[in-house]
Structure 1
Amino acid sequence: MVLAMLVDTLTAAAGVGSLRSITVITPDEAAAAAAAGLGADVLADPTPEDDPDPLNTAITAAERVVAEGASNIVVLQGDLPALQTQELAEAISAARHHRRSFVADRLGTGTAVLCAFGTALHPRFGPDSSARHRRSGAVELTGAWPGLRCDVDTPADLTAARQLGVGPATARAVAHR
C-alpha cells in the first residue's frame, strides 16, 4: 500500500510543469526502484538508525544535495494517493509569494508540503508539524486542495482519500487487500 501511494503521489507531481526535477530520499530499495522508474532522482537516506529525528534529518540531507542545483525546494510527503496535479501546481504557485510556506494536512496538525524559495527549508516534520512550521516562520497556505491535504497515516485517512478518489496504483492495492 505504501509503495502504491508513493507511485500515485509521484505520478501526480510529475505532471506539475513548474517542477524542474523530482528527488526521492528513501532507505527502501523497492521505493527507490519505483521512484527511479517514474523518472525521479533517488538519494539513499543516510540517516542513522538511532537518529532521534529521522524524517527531518533525511529531508535536510536531501536539501544539501538538491540545493546545489536549485534554490527553490518543495518537500512533498509520499503518502498522498488522492493528490491531483492541479492542486500541487496551485499550491506551488501560491508558495512563490513567500520565502517559506507550508500546506497543513486535512486535520490541520500535520504538514503535507513545505516550500522554500531562495532560503533554507528548516523542516519541522513530526507531531504537530503544522504548528511547528508556523512557529518557525513559515506561512500557512490555505487553498482548496483536498487531495494535497489528505495524507494517509491511519485507516480513517485512507477512507477519506478513497472518498476523494485515489490514483490507480492505490486503487489496485486497496482492491487486493
Structure 2
Amino acid sequence: MRNRRRHAWTVVIPVKPATHGKSRLEIPGVDRVELARAIALDTIAAAAEVARVVVVTADPTIDLPGVEVVVEPAARGIAVAVADGLAVASTERRAVLLGDVPGLRPADLSDALALAEGTRLGAVPDEERHGTTLVTAREGDLPAAFGPDSWAKHQAAGFAELLVPASSTLRRDVDRADHLVGVLGPRTSAVLARVP
C-alpha cells in the first residue's frame, strides 16, 4: 500500500530559508537557524518515505537524496512557493505539507493520503485548529490558503477535514518552543540534545 501511494501522490513542501524560518522559536543555547533547518529536513525525509516530494526553497542547504528541489532565487512568500511546487506536479493527487512537522511519522502521512482518496479537496488542521498542516487535491486545482487562521480559510474554500486521529503526528507543527514535544525526527533531536 505504501509503495503504491509513493507513486500516486506528489507532496509539495515549501521551506523558508533557515535564516528566516521559525523566528518565534527561540530556545536558550540552541542555534535557531540550525534548528529550523533540522525541522524542515526531518519533515521532508518523513514525507519522502511515502510520496514523491517536491521542495520549494531559496535555501541551498535544503536537499535530500531522492527529493526534487525547486530553487527560488529569493524567498517570495508561501503562496508563490506553493504555486511553483504545484506547477511541476501532476494535476492529480497533489498535496501541500508545511515543512515544520519534525515529529511526522510516515505512516501518519500515508493514512491521511489514503483518506484523501475519498474527497476532491482535503485538509488536516493542526492541534490548535487554527492552522493547517496538509491540504490535498485528488484532481484539479489545489487552492491552498496558508497563513494566519488558515484552517478557517481552507474550510471556507471547500476543503473537507481529513479525519486523522487526534494523536496523529501530522497535527503537530512547530511554531514555538512548547511545540517541541513527543518523539521528534533525528536531526531535530540531535540539535536539541546539544543544549547544555
TM-score using structure 2 length:
0.77
Aligned residue runs from structure 1 range 103-118, under 5 A: 103-118=124-139
State the Cα distance separating 1:146 from its structure 2 match: 2.8
SS of corresponding position for 1:113: strand
**Residue 85 of structure 2: which of 50, 62, 87 is its match?**
62
**Residue 105 of structure 2: which of 84, 88, 92 is its match?**
84
Structure with a larger share of its residues in helix? 1
Rounded to whole Å, the distance in 1 between the matches of 2:178 and 2:192 is 14
Verify the 8 A CA contact 1:46 1:58 in the aligned structure 2.
no
Rounded to whole Å, the distance in 2 between the matches of 1:56 and 1:157 is 24
Verify the 8 A CA contact 2:121 2:158 in the aligned structure 1.
yes
**Residue 3 of structure 1: which of 37, 43, 61 is its match?**
37
Verify the 8 A CA contact 2:124 2:132 in the aligned structure 1.
yes
Verify the 8 A CA contact 1:106 1:146 in the aligned structure 2.
no
Structure 2: 5+ residue stretches without partners: 1-34
Aligned residue runs from structure 1 range 4-43, under 5 A: 4-16=38-50, 19=51, 21-31=52-62, 35=63, 37-43=64-70
% identical equivalent positions:
32
Verify the 8 A CA contact 2:108 2:169 in the aligned structure 1.
yes
TM-score using structure 1 length:
0.84
Aligned residue runs from structure 1 range 166-177, under 5 A: 166-177=184-195
Give the 3 Å change call, closer, same or farther, for CA 4–48 of structure 1 in structure 2.
closer
How many residues are matched?
Answer: 160
Rounded to whole Å, the distance in 2 between the matches of 1:74 and 1:97 is 14
Rounded to whole Å, the distance in 1 between the matches of 2:60 and 2:73 is 13
Verify the 8 A CA contact 2:40 2:99 in the aligned structure 1.
yes
Verify the 8 A CA contact 1:111 1:129 in the aligned structure 2.
yes
Structure 1: 5+ residue stretches without partners: none
State the Cα distance separating 1:45 from its structure 2 match: 2.5
| Aligned-residue CA RMSD (Å) | 1.6
Rounded to whole Å, the distance in 2 between the matches of 1:82 and 1:176 is 18
